[in-house]
Amino acid sequence: MDGRSRIMVAFLTLTKSLSLKNVTMDDIARQAGISKKTLYQHFRNKNEVIDYVVERSHELFANRCKSIIANAGNAVEALCKIADLLDEISFDWNRISLYQFQKYYPLSFDKYIDGLEAVHISMIREVVSNGKKAGLFRKDISPAIFANYRISQLFLFTEKILGGNWNMTDRRTINDLTIRGLLTEKGMEEYNWLARK
């Protein structure tokens, strides 16, 4: 792992337990197991760390989605795996850090939102469009609206609303119900086949 990647992992680890505002460059260096001098050779300040994390996380998500799409048997399988990936990514988010990200780092947050639109939303839109063409998803489904809706769900404070017992199994149940609502009869056959795998 190169130095910048190591710093990114350290930063993300810290933001799971600390609020974003309270993470310092000292904390990042200590978590990464490097000197502060080494950290400053890579990044001038915390804003640069945040910008790098935003850019790199979008790039990593795009690469994983491209791999999922290339290796999936069809759009139903691709959408299921991308939904799982989104849940995996968001499950450990510190919601206070997400709020602080928007409040205290608005330029970086705007870059993050632009990346969501350019990468996350476009990948889901592509999968749903391909699924419609293949007759797997209903014709009345708007790929753009569904993709925007699915990404917006990442920002809901569902754990607070639904209680402390909300977990990955619950998220998968919601994904199951959501995906079933998109499917044609042909798509449902593929979905049921995936469930038996």
Q: What is the DSSP string of 17-66?
A: HS-GGG--HHHHHHHHTS-HHHHHHH-SSHHHHHHHHHHHHHHHHHHHHH
pLDDT at 171: 79
Inform me whether the pLDDT recorded for 156 exceeds 70: no
pLDDT of residue 157 exceeding 80 = no
pTM for the structure as a whole: 0.88
Residue-wise pLDDT tens digits, 119-132: 999 999 999 999 99
**Does residue 175 carry a pLDDT above 70?**
yes
Residue 161 pLDDT greater than 70, yes or no: no
The packing angle between helices 122-133 and 46-71, to 10°, is 10
List, in sequence order, the alpha helices (H) in the chain. Answer: 3-17, 25-32, 36-42, 46-71, 75-90, 95-104, 106-115, 122-133, 143-152, 158-162, 168-182, 185-196
pLDDT on residue 169: 81
59-71 pLDDT tens trace: 999 999 999 999 9
Is 159 or 30 the better-scoring residue by pLDDT? 30
Q: What is the pLDDT confidence band of residue 195, given thresholds at 50, 70 and 90? A: confident
Question: Cβ–Cβ contacts within 10 Å for residue 113, how many?
Answer: 13
